[in-house]
Amino acid sequence: MKPAKLHYWILGCFSMVSCCWCTSDKFPQSDSHPHTWKKLYLAHHWPVTVCKMSANDCQDPPDYWTIHGLWPDKGEECNRTWHFNVTEIKDLMSDMRRYWPDVIHSSPNRTHFWKHEWDKHGTCAATLPILDSEKKYFSKTLELYQHVDLNGVLLKAGIKPGSTYYQMAAIKEVLTKFYGVTPKIQCLAPEEGEKAQTIGQIEFCFTKELKPRNCTEPKGESSRMHTNLQPVTEELSVCNDTLPVYYPSSTKQVNNNPLKSYLGKQF
């Protein structure tokens, strides 16, 4: 999907949102959170890198970008009385397990990850009428994920997992040119003796009208780091523009990088 088509699809799909900045009548104002968030992050994470970060043993992580979450830029656990109920998304279960899996825990019946995302972020996003229920929050996130199609865009640009190392500028250029907005890309810093960072997460930002917008922050405005997948042994940070980027194709490659010596010579 070309950038213009993506933009108009989002506008058309969500044109029903007439007052996106207003608080939904369905949202109980029982907690002290101000609910004054300004934008949403649609976060994709790379499962192989997630496994490297995890203290758990990952089993055969997906070889495609999966959903981490849809996050308002401010506020967490905005309504602790609005409990997650998996039956509300039972008809989404097939897509949830494929595109929004709990990468760390291999059991397909685990719902803790989705509960965490709803409790922490969904109850805050629910101030928008288009996201004001558990079903709406998860289904709209799945829709955005499908239409952004990060997996397809990177593949068409020749950016794919394996032994090839990329320059961060090249990845940013591809994504910014295609989508018309600047995403936020996060990496694991190089381990001792390595010269390359490992790509881990790509976030796209949306306004409250669900229009694409740059993820860059105005000067003086802090950028929130999202590293809420537990347990982890390492953390993601915004990628270093000057370092090469490793895009691993398997957990074996991540944990036993065959090109360490090669990188040491090249960079």
Q: Which residues are catalytic?
A: 68, 117, 121
Give the Cα separation of 248 and 245 in Å (integer): 10
Q: Which SS3 state, helix, strand or coil, does residue 244 take?
A: strand
End-to-end CA distance of the chain: give it in Å, rounded: 36
Q: Compute the chain's Rg from CA coordinates.
A: 19
Q: Return the residue matching tokens 């996201």.
A: 131
52: nearest Cα among 114, 103, 124: 103
Give the Cα separation of 113 and 105 in Å (integer): 9
Alpha helices in 149-208 (DSSP H): 150-156, 168-179
Q: Return the residue matching tokens 């950038």.
A: 3
Give the Cα separation of 224 and 217 in Å (integer): 10
Give residue 196's Cα distance to chain centre.
Answer: 22
Tokens standing for residue 151: 């997996």
